[in-house]
Amino acid sequence: MKKIIFISIAFLSVELVYAQEKVTLEYCYERVEQEFPTAQKAEIQREITNLNMMLKQTGLYPEMKINGSISYQSETTDPSFAGPAAPDFSKDHYNISLDLTQLVFDAGRTKKLKEVELISGETAQAGIQVELWNIRKQIDQVYFGILLIQKQLELTELFLKDLEEQLHVVSARVENGVLLSANERVIQAEILKLKQQRLQIEANIKSGYEVLSVLIGEEVSVDEQLDLPEKYIDWFETEEEINRPEIKVFDRRKNTLDAQSEVISSDKLPVVSAFAKGAYGRPGFDAFNDDLHLYWMVGLRAQWSFRNWRNSEKKRQVIQLEQDKIGADQDAFTRQVNTALSQIKSNIEALNQQITLDEQLLELQKEIVEEKKSQLNQGVITSTEYVTELNAQNRTLLNLEIHKVQLVQAHYEYLTQKGISWN
């Protein structure tokens, strides 16, 4: 009983290790979002946005200034007009003051400036997502490129096995005098060619894994298997809207302009603030007090820029034109995406048809190869004729497997192009 349990645990451990070694396309996407240097910019941008909003918020806080001055002037007012007892005015002046200003009313301008900063930060974040989306496209190309080359390697190994088995049969026939030795050399040469191809394919696979490792920021060994999704995705039959990150960039840019328009509305109205001033020095507000002394003032101040009021309509027109430009850019982008989606749909349909034809052709070629193999063993044909038909069958089998991988790739390309499941 213990032996059975031990074997079961060992078998389960092997399965878990195998499962861990399998790399999925979705995992690569997640790694890009987490580890790619561009993804780190998202956190930096959040900090920038928060700091900018805090800076705008300070407009609502009291402002304190300390001012000081020392001066000497060439002349002063003659005090004789005030009578013989009037004091002389000093030519040297000293003043140090503390000025406080508190915003009372700004028509919501500060709040709207914070909204502009917030939306600008969201626009920058959407731009980062666009960069990550472009990395995702590279992931698709590299990932499926590796799968295609691996499929080529798998079939090359299969072809080698077939030829080596046939070489064994032909060699026996040559030894028995049934076939000429040239038939043996033809197959040996073909085996060497396949081994050369295998070396190049293995080098390409290694290179692909190295590129994938760089993109996802994690070492991926050639021993780790890439998962090929078995289920085809039928998103191209749905009516889901385009969800590309570029759309969010367009929307955020429009929102930014809307917020700027609100700021313009605030600029048309007056700004009211309270102020207080406490000072020490001379002269103060009392021109006849020439001694160093404390003095203060409190009050309200209103500012109303007629230039802002006069220019507000032109600024709104500029914003509207900018909105129109963004709308035109978005329409052009949407058309380009829809064109690409149509091309992918056509490619999917063509691949489905090609796979059907590949399967039909492969069945015929299998029968031909079996017939040629029998004829070769009987000495009716040469190895060259057999190898020719075998290569034709192998090319068809390779095309079939490549088209299957390309079909899955096309479905994922559709998802990526449309922006589905990219959050």
CB 133 within 8 A of CB 245: yes
Mean pLDDT on 82-94: 73
Would the pLDDT of 3 be above 50? no
- Average pLDDT of the chain? 85
**Structure tokens, 422:** 């990219």
Give residue 19's pLDDT. Answer: 44
What's the mean pLDDT in 31-48?
A: 87
Which residues on neighbouring strands pair with residue 105, listed in sequence order? 272
pLDDT of amino acid 85: 60
The arithmetic mean of pLDDT across residues 52-80, rounded, is 88
Residue 380 is predicted with a pLDDT of 83
Find the mean pLDDT for residues 279-304.
89
What are the boundaries of each domain within the chain?
20-71+89-418
Token pair recorded at residue 145: 């490129």
Look at residue 16 and tell me whether its pLDDT is greater than 50. Answer: no
- Tokens matching residue 178: 């049934």
Q: Which of 8-17, 159-168, 381-390 comes out lowest in average pLDDT?
A: 8-17
Task: Decide if 62 contacts 276 (C-beta within 8 A).
Answer: no
**Residue 375 in 3-state DSSP?**
helix
- Beta-strand runs (E) in 336-415: none
Segment 199-222 shows an average pLDDT of 93
Closest to 409 (Cα-Cα) out of 232, 243, 216, 245: 232
pLDDT for 88: 72
> Does the reported pTM lie above 0.95?
no
Residue 321: pLDDT band (50, 70, 90) is very high
pLDDT of residue 10 exceeding 70: no
Q: What CATH number has the domain spanning 20-71+89-418?
A: 1.20.1600.10
The larger pLDDT score, comparing residue 144 to residue 90, is at: 144
Which has the higher per-residue pLDDT, 216 or 85? 216
Angle (CA) 257-262-267 rounded to 5° is 120
Which of the pair, 301 or 17, is modelled with greater confidence?
Answer: 301
Taken in order 357, 361, 362, 363, the sign of the CA dihedral is positive
CA distance 332 to 247: 11
Does position 183 have pLDDT exceeding 90, yes or no? no
Which band of pLDDT confidence, cut at 50, 70 and 90, is reported for residue 214? Answer: very high
- For the chain, how far is it from start to end, CA to CA, in angstroms? 50
Q: What is the DSSP letter of 88?
A: P
Cβ contacts of 394 within 8 Å, gap of 6 or more: 155, 159
pLDDT at 164: 86
- Is the pLDDT at 15 greater than 50, yes or no? no
Instruction: Give the sheet arrangement for strand 293-303, strand by strand.
Output: 63-72, 92-105, 271-282, 293-303
CB contact burial 224-255 (16+ within 10 A = b; e otherwise): eebebeeeebeebeeeeeeebbbbbbbbbbbb
Closest CA to 417 of 133, 25, 63, 30: 133
Question: Taking Cα atoms as reference points, which of 365, 367, 386 lies closest to residue 173?
Answer: 386
Is pLDDT at 158 greater than 60 in this prediction? Answer: yes
For residues 411 and 421, the answer to whether their CB atoms sit within 8 Å is: no
**C-alpha to C-alpha distance for 388 and 170, rounded to whole angstroms:** 16
The per-residue DSSP string of 277-341 comes to: EEEEEES-S-TT--S-EEEEEEEEEEE--HHHHHHHHHHHHHHHHHHHHHHHHHHHHHHHHHHHH
Beta bridge partners of 301: 273
Segment 216-238 mean pLDDT? 77
Q: Single out the residue of 348, 358, 324, 327 nearest to residue 410, CA to CA.
A: 348
The pLDDT value recorded for residue 65 is 94
Per the CB < 8 A criterion, the answer to whether 113 and 55 are in contact is: no
pLDDT of residue 343: 94
How does pLDDT run across 326-385, given as a tens digit for each residue?
999 999 999 999 999 999 999 999 999 999 999 999 999 999 988 988 888 887 888 888
